[in-house]
Structure 1
Amino acid sequence: MFFISLWPYLNTIDPTASATFFGIITAVFSLGQAISSPLFGFWMNKAKTIRPVLCFAFILMLASNGVYACTEFFPQHQRKYVMLVARFLTGFGAGDMAVIRAYSATASNIKDRARAVSLVTSAWVLGLVVGPGLQVIFEPFGYPGFKLFGLFHFDMYTAPAWFSALADLLSIILLWTIFVEEYAGILTDEEKNSNKSPSRKGEGRMRGYSFLWEGTMTGILFMSGSIARIIGPILVSTLFEHYGPEATWGLQIGVISITILLWIIFYSKIVPLETSPNLNP
């Protein structure tokens, strides 16, 4: 939500921070996400539930957003490092997206799985698009703004962080009060041991083996994408600081061109998704 104001905020509270260090701050978010995504997925698979995983992630993001908003409480020479740690922990908590996607796949049947996963992905992308735009709402507060309870700074730079912390708190409440965790087509331990379970005749019964490591594999997929987002900000900020904007534009144009070229070359090798919506009992 506050990515747009990240550099102005850093430059305001610590004018000595360089563009390269800002690139590192941007990259550590993805580093945290790359580390936590497979860990959260593994935790989900072992615990066989996503509620404690998501709760931990939300609490971590709530705390780190609070630390980000309170960066000015630290001495000036420490502020950029405090922001670095806060963004790393926020990214670590953001690794819960791998768990959410894995759950959307395991909580839906084959007929609705594509729709369920696409809705979750759309909600995530919508947040990425709308979130930075909300920065406009906080512009009227200006800087230094005012103090909450006579202690916490509330201005156009810290307000998005406080708003994000409030959203994390609301997510925790909804997680434990409204959210109902259900899975489709996977036998529970009680069902496996029950004599009333349906017949396995024909050996076509779906037992959910394909989902045993769904969370971990989705986490690894997210980790691979996060690695690219770690390298990108550092590389772009370094190029911008030493060679100006033309070098960064050239890099982006080159990456896009290579991506399109590879898509054209390997288009015939892309395997279409084929699933059968019918499961034999």
Structure 2
Amino acid sequence: IDDNATSSFFGFAASGSKLAGFIFAFVFAFWAQRSGKLKGALLAGRIITLIACLIYICIEFVPANRRFVLALCYFLFGVGFSTSPLLRSYIAEMSSDENRSSAYSLTSAAMIMSIIVGPVAQLSFHSVTYPGYELLPNIRIHIFSAPVWFATITNIIVILIISFLFVDVSADSKDDQTKMVLSIDELKNQYRRLRQLPVSWILVGLILFEKCASILAFASLTVIAGPMMTVIYAFTGEQTVIIMAICQMLVGFLAFSLSLSFIFGKLGR
């Protein structure tokens, strides 16, 4: 798409996407906490992701320096995906102790399915090399854009679901007194309440550390795998996409199997 895009630039763009996800996870969490509702933040995240998809699809309209536009898309993808923690808080509110592990497993399975669908789309279009087929003037579908087309369709569906079917618990079961005001005193009160909970904080810390370590490993591999394949092994862009798609599918199937074991094998109970 842009011959001037180097492996280093791809690494910076991917890192920027992760950084955007890290920063805006706090922004959306602050938004949801102050408003007492999740719907607005979730909807904003999906709209931002849809905008990134549309920019990516319309990349052919940019005559030069397309790599910077693609970097912007990566950044917006990271912003949109940073709303994922809000779904976990929603599950914690909606589920009970008996079905919470299954609810979280279903959510994890859904996220893993999104990891699998992208590579499947790319492999389905592996023979459609760039520039691919022109659907409309400067609107093309090829091996690089196929997952984005799928993401565009699914984002439109999700936006409609959130707009018309999503029930915000905060709007129905909480009053204005439950909305916290960020202050030193409030933070101290929250800390005291947390200290009084009958929870093994060592175990909580261990789980958080494991979560951070696993996400760090996955994020690092996704950032350096592409540049390593193109620089060290001299693979073309299409070859790199196919290899990474196959690896991502294998990881997705393994993770999906683990999630199903929690749902049907009752491992979390």
TM-score, shorter chain, exceeding 0.5: yes
Aligned to 1:110, the other structure's residue is in SS state: coil
Shift of 1:106: 1.6
Give runs of aligned pairs for residues 75-90 of structure 1, distance below 5 A: 75-76=63-64, 78-90=65-77
Which of these residues, 74, 95, 102, is aligned with residue 115 of structure 1? 102
Match of 2:175 in 1: 189
Shift of 1:140: 5.4
User: Match of 1:67, as an amino acid?
Assistant: I
TM-score (norm 1): 0.62
Aligned to 2:125, the other structure's residue is in SS state: helix
When the two structures are aligned, how many residues end up with a matched partner?
Answer: 211
Map Cα deviations across residues 104-135 of structure 1 (whole Å, 9 max, x no partner). 11221222222222221221122213332222
Give runs of aligned pairs for residues 29-44 of structure 1, distance below 5 A: 29-44=17-32
Q: Percent identity?
A: 25
2:113 pairs with 1:126: yes
Which of these residues, 16, 22, 28, is aligned with residue 28 of structure 1? 16
Partner Cα separation in structure 2 for residue 242 and residue 156 of structure 1: 21
User: Match of 1:168, as an amino acid?
Assistant: N
Contact 1:34 1:223 in 2 (8 A): no
Map Cα deviations across residues 74-113 of structure 1 (whole Å, 9 max, x no partner). 133x111110111111111000111111111122122222
Aligned to 1:180, the other structure's residue is in SS state: coil
Aligned to 1:165, the other structure's residue is in SS state: helix
Shift of 1:187: 5.4
Which of these residues, 167, 170, 192, is aligned with residue 154 of structure 2? 167
Partner Cα separation in structure 2 for residue 239 and residue 136 of structure 1: 21
2:90 pairs with 1:103: yes
TM-score (norm 2): 0.64
> Which stretches of structure 1, 4 residues or more, deviate above 4 A after TM superposition?
221-245
Aligned to 2:99, the other structure's residue is in SS state: helix
Gaps of 5+ in 2: 179-192, 195-209, 235-267
> Structure 1 234/167 Cα, relative in aligned 2: closer, same or farther at 3 Å?
closer
> Structure 1 241/168 Cα, relative in aligned 2: closer, same or farther at 3 Å?
closer
Shift of 1:36: 1.3
